[in-house]
Structure 1
């Protein structure tokens, strides 16, 4: 089933795009990530221009986050107070990211920067996640008890002024910490078309010291609103959002997120982290190959 994408200016198989949306939706519900970290690279591999892939994937992440957030909200897994602070920071970060996006577009370097960001971020975070999950699985097989990590925020967070109580997360920290975290996520979302969940979830656990029971739901809550703002910002400034592409991705992602949320309650967390780390590292490796590999024909003419 061939479908024409007007902004990307190419024809694609609609069923393939829907299936891609379903896969990223499952990841959203399972891990609390928007799935954009996988959607954008796969769209680029499929032949969609990086600018269109990043802008359109952000709108798809919104749909996946809506479905996943509702699933976690039903079991009380969202800290709305802390999430609102991160949404405010994400909105500010989106504006900063829009300026950077337009600047890089004017310099003709946006495609290269998107690819490099993916390699650096996915490679580093995937490596850390894989190291932690493999260590936990080895300890379980050998029968040794893994010492429980003390849930405490980072010393830099403790040094920030003004402290609020975030009762649902069990935190007493400065609101500037989640605000700055949200800003960073907003910038990355605008540049890369990702929800930022693969950065948010570990940061909320290890930097903010949040309770694990509300991390995934709160991450999806923040991603939902930040990607909405990102999509509107792209539509108004870069004009790179392909509504046909985004619609096909949404069809698959909304249903996939519900499946992922159910599966996350049954699977072991260590195995889930290892699966996610493997996917992240494979995508980073493929992106790195694309940066360094020189095709046999640098220029080619494709008949219409």
Structure 2
């Protein structure tokens, strides 16, 4: 298959693409340099290889640009914690970033990070709250504009740039194999059977509704506890130009991709971004929703 005159997901010729990129650098045409960067990124036989190429190119200071957006002053952000009668939720300490934070999707072990959502709904889904389960809903307010990086809202220079953003965002939001997702993955493993990297190589799938399944397929393919090592690396790359934090969509609300925005999104704030919000209040609530994130995934695959 060809996109913009480049063979995609067929014969890999990294050496040729690297030579073309170096020639573009010599010629000094910025537009050609940018296009050759993304051709180089796509020199892979599958989508996971694109993620690896993205990390590798960054090590050689080849910068690949994606989106940035502003979360404006006055915006409310939310966080949900499972209710525990022994926890004093009125204490501000309970709503600050956890000290010595364990490794997460977008943070290395020990890295200061605060995970928030744009709506209460997204927080309910991401925290796997079940019907009739009690939770504490914390509300934060942005007191100074926050700039976040993302793989969603950007103006692509060509289709390769566009689709690479789709793949990187899909990989970032992939559901992880853990105890909370045990039931979900039992269903997914049964539904998809044995996936291989060949199941993640058809760029034509990214032009269809199938693109919403890509994060799920990444998750099914991941049989080892190595996923966060890669998401940490791509978040570290993205945050170099936006140290406040990162915005990313949710695999449980499959309606946002590049060019299609949704009011429900996730955000992780790092030290600089955390200093630009304040905790407002909290409320103890009971989840009345009949469905979970797992139910949503089952309904659209």
The TM-score range, normalised by the shorter chain, is under 0.3
User: TM-score, normalised to structure 1's length?
Assistant: 0.23
Higher strand proportion (structure 1 or 2):
2
